């Protein structure tokens, strides 16, 4: 079974703090993604990476950065946390399957509260 793990299920941080969210997958997937999920807005893509040290901005990258030093690990960094970054953060990974399915496998999510 594919496993995607995230470092924390719940996190509370103060405004202005630097926040690291870690994601690890064990299936040797090339692609990894960070989303945030807010009520009524669905999943919105923050950043994704299609290879080690490669990254691309998603739809809402402002206020975030990412790091992918190893294939299995993709980190999301909030340089200076703000209250509007309070959200559920979901990591996902994918790899072309048979027929190029690109199905994404999700981690359990980190609920971040910024006070």
Partner 1 sequence: EDKVVQSPLSLVVHEGDTVTLNCSYEVTNFRSLLWYKQEKKAPTFLFMLTSSGIEKKSGRLSSILDKKELFSILNITATQTGDSAIYLCAPWGDSSYKLIFGSGTRLLVRP
Reduce the DSSP state of residue 72 to 3 states and report it.
coil
Q: Which is nearer to partner 1, 17 or 91 (CB)?
A: 91
CB of 88 to partner 1, least distance (A): 9
CB of 23 to partner 1, least distance (A): 12
Task: Show the 3-state SS of 83-113.
Answer: HHHCEEEEEEEECCCCCCCCCEEECCCEEEE
Give the binding site for partner 1 (CB under 8 A). Answer: 4, 31, 33, 35, 40-45, 48, 50, 56, 58, 90, 94, 96, 99, 101-109
């Amino acid at each position: 079974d594919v496993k995607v793990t995230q470092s924390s299920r719940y996190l509370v941080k103060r405004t202005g703090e630097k926040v690291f969210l870690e994601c690890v997958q064990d299936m040797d997937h090339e692609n990894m993604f960070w989303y945030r999920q807010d009520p009524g807005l669905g999943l919105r893509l923050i950043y994704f990476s299609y290879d080690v040290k490669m990254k691309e901005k998603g739809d809402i990258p402002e206020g975030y950065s990412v790091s992918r030093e190893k294939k299995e690990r993709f980190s999301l960094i909030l340089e200076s946390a703000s209250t509007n970054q309070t959200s559920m953060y979901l990591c996902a990974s994918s790899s072309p399957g048979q027929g190029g399915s690109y199905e994404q496998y999700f981690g359990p999510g980190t609920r971040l509260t910024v006070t």
